[in-house]
Each structure stands twice: as C-alpha cells, then as structure tokens.
Amino acid sequence: MTEMPVFDPLLREVPSPYYTPAHREFRATIRRWVDEHVAPFVEQWDEAGTFPRELYGKAAEIGLIGMGFPEEYGGIEGTDLFHMIVATEELARAGSGGLIASLMSHSIGAPPIAALGSDELKARVLPGILSGEKISALAITEPSGGSDVANLRTTARLDGDHYVVDGEKVFITSGIRADYVTTAVRTGGKGFGGISLLLIETDRPGITRTPLKKMGWWMSDTAAIHFDGVRVPAANLVGPENAGFLGIVRNFNGERIGLAAGANAFARVALEEAIDWARQRQTFGKRLADHQVIRHKIVDMAQRIQATQCMLENLAWRVEQGDAPIAEICMLKNQATLTMEFCAREAMQILGGAGYMRGVKTERIYREVRVNAIGGGSEEIMRDLAARQLGL
C-alpha cells in the first residue's frame, strides 16, 4: 500500500461543520464510480477528443445528473452546494476538467428551465436530461462578446406561434452533442431588457454546428453554433419574454462556486501527484521530498489550497443560508484559479521532465488552467464585478 494521500477528504475525515454523513457517503459512491467508469479511460478519451455518450446515463444512475432538480422530473431534492462540491472534487480526481465540463453541462443549461420554464416545457425536456438520455447546453457567448451579455446580437423574431432565430454562438460546451441548447436571444430592444432565454432543439432546420479545437479540455465537445432562420415554437420560451437576463445571472453564483471547487480540486490533484513523485524520486542521494526547496514548494501549494478551500466552503455555506455574497464569490473564483495556476506550475517543476509528458495528470491540468481562469467570468471581469459590488 502506498503512503496515505495528504489531503484526501475521503480517507482523512477531518472534523467539519459543513459535511454530513450523507455527503461523505455520496463522496464514497462517486469515488468508486470514478475509479471504475472514468479514471481508467481518461487518457484514451482525452486523446480521442471525446468520451462515450453512455457515460451520461451511468452518471444519472448514481445521482450525479439529478442533483438539485425537482423529483417529479427525475431530479433529486434535498441536496445542497456541498453535494455539488463533493461531486466536483471527486470527478476532478480523474484529472480531466473537460470531462466535468461536458458531462455536467446540464448544470448550466437546465437550471433556468427548472426555475423559469412552463410546466409543459419542464415535463417535455427535464426527464430526458435528468436521466442522461438527452444532453443540455447553455449558449450565451457570441463572436462579438462573452461577458458583455447585455449587448448580445442573436435575434429571435416572433412570427405567429414561432420565433425565428438568427445569429451565432461560440465556445459552447457540449455544443456538438447537445440535444437542447438553452440560448440567450434578443427579443426586444437594446440592453439587458431585450434578452430572452429560448430552448432550442438542435435537430431543427437552419442549425449548423462546428467543432472547435482547444488548448485543453480535449474530451469536452466545444462548438460554434450558427442559427439561420431557425423556427422555434414560442412554447420553448424559458420564463417571460425580455426577462432572460435574470435567468442568466441567477445561476452565476452556483456556477462560480462550482468552478472554484473544480479549480481548487485540480490544484490538489497536481499537489498529490507532485508529493507522490517527490517521495519516490531520488536525486543527489536523497528523495526529492528531502530537499528543502521541494519541501517548501509543497507547503506553499498546500497552504494556498487550504486557504481556498476554507473560503469555498464558507461561501457555499453562506449561499445555503440565503446570502448572496456576490463580491466574495468573484474573489473566490479568482482565488481558486490563481491557486490552480500556481499549483500546476509548481507541481510541474517538481515532476520535471516526467511532468511534461502526456499521461501525467499535471500535464493536462497545466493545459486546463487558462480555461478556468477565463470561462464562467474571466479574472478581469471578476475583479471588475467585485469592485462594483464593493461600491468603489
């Protein structure tokens, strides 16, 4: 048996006010599921640039997909942000953020439907998504801008009982395989008051999808989606017309906490890999872990990860209490992605040449740093939003 991992929240049950036995049980379940159904195949899937579609169904069986959605549509009620954190951390252990992004793309695509959609719409699409049969994606970003949501250009013009959609979306996670794309469209005038959310089935005529090649997240499908006169039933409108902006931003806090949990989890994976290597590798007559320069690197990484984890769990708890600490969540996301960046770098330095080879988790994590620091609100946007929230 190898040495105990230093920061394994499953095997080291440190006292915590946030996690119940049910959370720990869920962690054990996902740990086993990831070890069996994900970890052995990650290399192969990443090189292939995709993973089997059946994984959605398997993930749904153990409860990964249904978390937080209403039971009547196949969801699992009574879960909280800590289930989401646990799920993200355990999925991250396989060392691929691309897997999480695509496998869990419904976690940004489907919440607006569940929260704002009509009963008819929910009954029509949610059971398929939550059972893993159908894939849901969210499409906001356009070639002309991402975070500047209020100025998006894709239009939906009402024609009888249908909307006619024209425009283009880019960097859409699960864009190629998605059956449903929750799309931000302009139905009214300029600014955020003219935006609606429309559920678009991807088999409608007039949709062209182009796969995009990326620096990291290889197994995640990322697409540009072009809409050319696509007719979508008005019944697919998610929430009231021209009130889509609220539907978009209401999910941001949860999404950013999830992204922060992922980034810090990847930092921890890189750290664990570096520690394993430092304990094995002999240089100048002793283990790497016995060289002061390496020992200090490890502690510096661990210190940042622990600090980020404290902030993450505290803010998740505040959100669960009904608080909306927007500025702090922006700072948390940056804290987490900067920690991931630092740890990917330091772990790579410890691994040396071995770390530069494909097949090492740190190599992949290194390539996935930027997508975390840019996606879901870039570091610059996060700072700007935090500054505004602070009333500067």
Partner 1 sequence: MKVLVPVKRVVDYNVKIRVKADNTGVDLANVKMSMNPFDEISVEEAIRLKEAGKATEVVVVSIGPAQAAETIRTALAMGADRGILIKTDEEVQPLAVAKLLKGVVDEEQPGLVIVGKQAIDDDSNQTGQMLSALLGWGQATFASKVVIGDGSAEVTREVDGGLETLSLKLPAIVTSDLRLNEPRYASLPNIMKAKKKPLAEKAPADYGVDIAPRLKTLKVEEPPKRSAGIKVPDVATLVEKLKTEAGVL
Active site residues: 255
Distances (CA, A) of 139 to 195, 224, 233, 243: 13, 10, 18, 16
User: Is the separation of the CB atoms in 7 and 268 below 8 Å?
Assistant: yes
For 159, the 3-state DSSP assignment is strand
Instruction: Name, in order, each residue with C-beta under 8 angstroms of 206's C-beta and a sequence gap of 6 or more.
Output: 165, 227, 228, 229, 230, 231
* Range list of H helices, 77-236: 81-92, 97-103, 106-109, 111-116, 119-130
Q: Where do we find the tokens 């893993």?
A: 132
- 231-256 b/e (C-beta count within 10 Å ≥ 16 → b): ebeeebbbbebebbbebbeebbbbbb
For residue 185, which phi and psi values (nearest 5 degrees)?
-135, 155
Q: Report the distance separating Cα 185 and Cα 197, nearest Å.
A: 6
Contact in structure between 267 and 339 (CB atoms under 8 Å): yes
Please say whether the beta carbons of 230 and 204 come within 8 A. yes
Gap between the Cα atoms of 251 and 108, Å rounded: 7
Distance CA 346, CA 169 (A): 36
Closest separation between CB of residue 32 and partner 1, Å? Answer: 6
Of 116, 194, 117, the residue nearest 155 (C-alpha): 194
Nearest approach in angstroms of CB 100 to partner 1 is 16
- Compute the least distance from the CB of residue 370 to partner 1, in Å: 32
Nearer to partner 1, 15 or 205 (CB): 15
Give how far Cα 8 sits from Cα of 168, 342, 349, 387, Å. 43, 20, 22, 35
Nearest distance in Å: CB 361, partner 1:
19
Amino acid, single-letter form, for residue 168: E
Q: Which is nearer to partner 1, 13 or 148 (CB)?
A: 13
CB 94 to partner 1: min, Å: 17
| Cα dihedral: 268, 347, 260, 25 (round 10) | -20
Q: 59 or 139: whose CB is closer to partner 1?
A: 59
Q: How far is the CB of 87 from partner 1 (least distance, A)?
A: 9
Of 127 and 233, CB closest to partner 1: 127
Compute the least distance from the CB of residue 193 to partner 1, in Å: 39
Q: Measured from the CB atom, is 21 or 160 closer to partner 1? A: 21
CB nearer to partner 1: pick between 88 and 334: 88
225 CB neighbour count, 10 Å cutoff:
24
Residues that bind partner 1 (CB under 8 A): 1-4, 10-15, 21-22, 24-26, 28-29, 32-33, 61-64, 66-67, 76-79, 83
Question: Looking at beta carbons only, is 86 or 278 nearer to partner 1?
Answer: 86
Distance CA 6, CA 274 (A): 11
The residue (of 75 and 247) whose beta carbon lies closer to partner 1 is 75
Cβ 37 to partner 1 shortest distance, Å? 10
- For residue 205 the two structure tokens come to 């005529």
Report the candidate in 100, 86, 92 with the shortest Cα–Cα distance to residue 18: 86
